Amino acid sequence: MSSSPAEPTALSVLNPATLEVVGKVPNSTAEEVNTAIKAAQRAAPSWAASSERGSFLLAVATDLKANVVRLAHLLTQEQGKPLREAMEELMGAVHWLRSVAGVKLPEDDRISTPQGEARIERRPKGIVAAITPWNYPVILAFWKIAPALVSGNCVILKPSPFTPLTSIEIEKLFSLHLPSGVLQVLPGGDETGSVLAKHPGVDHISLTGSVAAGRAVGAQAGHNLKTATLELGGNDAAIVLEDADPANVARELFINAFKNCGQTCTAIKRIYVHHSLHGALGEALRSQADSLVVGDGMQPATKMGPINNAPQLTKVHSLISDALVRGGSVICGGRRIDSPGFFHQPTIVIGLPDDALLVTEEQFGPVLPVLEFDNIDDALERANQSNLGLGGSVWSADSERAMDITHRLECGTTWVNRHSATDPAVPFGGIKESGLGYANGKAGLEEFMRIRVSYPGQKE
């Protein structure tokens, strides 16, 4: 969503289930970006020097936990996901904040050299621009906020224009415990993100979003000679071997493809299944789709909400149209649900050629291609044909053989008989065009720190 930050306009946030306006937020201007950066710069020296950052963050985690139910309602209204999933996302944020607040920062290293002992210290980078997407607006913000703050940086969070409301409420909780300027939320469109990412006062940019936004932000960071962590799109393949039991694996495959309405960076976006199981797996997946309750996330029975926004719904439609032109058969779903909201049936397509757009592009929605293979070398070659390399999985009764096969998948994270697991202690990042750098774990923390080396003086 782009609109000029030169004019102080408001952005309306729609409930994707009803198309009612849930709230309005400012479309922050270049001047507001400047003001936020100045406030962060004022706060930075004492925050970097504080020895109590971990305890401040633990206090925020306690408040966040007390507010989970209230915030989950808001998250469902702006994002569309079922309330239970919104609660899980917020509880995930509490868990992430607690885990990272207690992390032991890397100790100074000392290295003996012929010139004497060199001391290697890690310092915060300074001001971090954190830019987030609309699919998991809370947990993905905490993947950035928690390590950036604990390592002594000040953060300006620019949420997606489709889902800024929960982030703004979360800023209020932080402001009860943290000094002013340490964490600020600056709502706005893509242009506000661009002004922020270009600003010379920003020392590090951490973006989660599309490949296009990653290229733009990476170029801006390069121009200013600043660092950037880019967590971008995925087109994860799941390879189902001939010894898997379709009835056993269908449920997990389905959940990992359609959770959050397919709008997950590490959703299963292509299934490659051995030809001997193709019919049975298609049937088992179709029966999962048939029993899925699609509706407003506020309704307790709902298992899948709407697509979050109109451009994404259009993208899903165009991929299904191309799939039909390319000879694909829709074995379930295929249509928008008649309702004011952005609801779409869970859709499974078979019989596609490898160059259909539904196979080569990231659908980020409730439509899944199921493709047949004859031998594992062929499956791996086709799975690896993608320009993206976020995650991938192999499904088999023989988990050791499956593990061996995962080593041949070209992606940042692989799983066996599961998909999508992440943890605050484990690094997460993509290869190829899925990104640069890491979130989480020690590697994720290091993204927010720079190294300073000192050689103590020699005796005169």
Q: Which residues are catalytic?
A: 231, 265
d(CA 176, CA 452): 33
Task: Give the three-class secondary structure for 122.
Answer: strand
Q: Is 28 left (phi over 0), alpha (psi -120 to 50) or beta?
A: beta
CB 200 to ligand NAD: min, Å: 15
Closer residue to ligand NAD (CB): 197 or 304: 197
Q: Using CB under 6 A, which of 11, 36, 261, 390 touches ligand NAD? A: 390
Tell me the residue nearest to ligand NAD as measured from the CB. 193
435 near ligand NAD, judged by CB under 6 A:
yes
138 near ligand NAD, judged by CB under 6 A: no
Q: How far is the CB of 374 from ligand NAD (least distance, A)?
A: 30
| By CB under 6 A, residue 210 contacts ligand NAD | yes
Length of the chain: 460
Q: Are 439 and 428 in contact (CB under 8 A)?
A: yes
Stretch that binds ligand NAD, among 37-45, 95-103, 188-196, 331-339 (CB under 6 A): 188-196
Q: Give the nearer residue to ligand NAD in terms of CB position, either 151 or 308.
A: 308
**HEC readout, 355-378:** CCHHHHCCCCCCEEEEEEECCHHH
236-258: burial string, b at 16+ Cβ within 10 Å, e else: bbbbbbeebebeebbebbbbbbb
At CA 111, angle to CA 108 and CA 116, rounded to 5? Answer: 120
Q: What is the CA radius of gyration of the chain?
A: 23
Whether 60 contacts 205, CB under 8 Å: no
288 or 420: CB nearest ligand NAD: 420
Structure tokens belonging to residue 77: 């209204």
Rounded distance, CA 275 to CA 383, Å?
Answer: 15
Which listed residue (126, 234, 346, 441) binds ligand NAD by CB under 6 A? 234
The answer to the question of residue 158 lying near ligand NAD (CB under 6 A) is: yes
Count residues near ligand NAD (CB under 6 A): 31
Q: Does 197 bind ligand NAD (CB under 6 A)?
A: yes
Q: Is 342 in the site for ligand NAD (CB under 6 A)?
A: no
Q: Contact between 14 and ligand NAD (CB under 6 A)?
A: no
In DSSP terms, 367 is beta-bridged to: 347
150, 57 Cβ separation under 8 angstroms: yes
Closest CB to ligand NAD among 373 and 415?
Answer: 415
Asked if 232 touches ligand NAD (CB under 6 A), the answer is: yes
We find the least distance from the C-beta atom of residue 198 to ligand NAD, in angstroms, to be 8
**CA 448 vs CA 125, 226, 435: distances in Å:** 6, 12, 16
Residue 384 buriedness (CB in 10 A; 0-12 / 13-18 / 19+): middle
Residue 302 is a binding residue for ligand NAD (CB under 6 A): no
Closest separation between CB of residue 255 and ligand NAD, Å? 17
Q: Does 437 bind ligand NAD (CB under 6 A)?
A: no
Among 194, 363, 414, 440, binds ligand NAD (CB under 6 A): 194
Residue 331 CB, nearest distance to ligand NAD (Å)? 25
Residue list 346-385, contact with ligand NAD (CB under 6 A): 362, 364
Element (H, E) at 61: helix 53-66
Rule CB under 6 A: say whether 233 interacts with ligand NAD: yes
Tell me which residues touch ligand NAD (CB under 6 A). 131-135, 140, 158, 160-161, 189-190, 193-194, 197, 207-210, 213, 216-217, 231-234, 265, 362, 364, 390, 430, 435
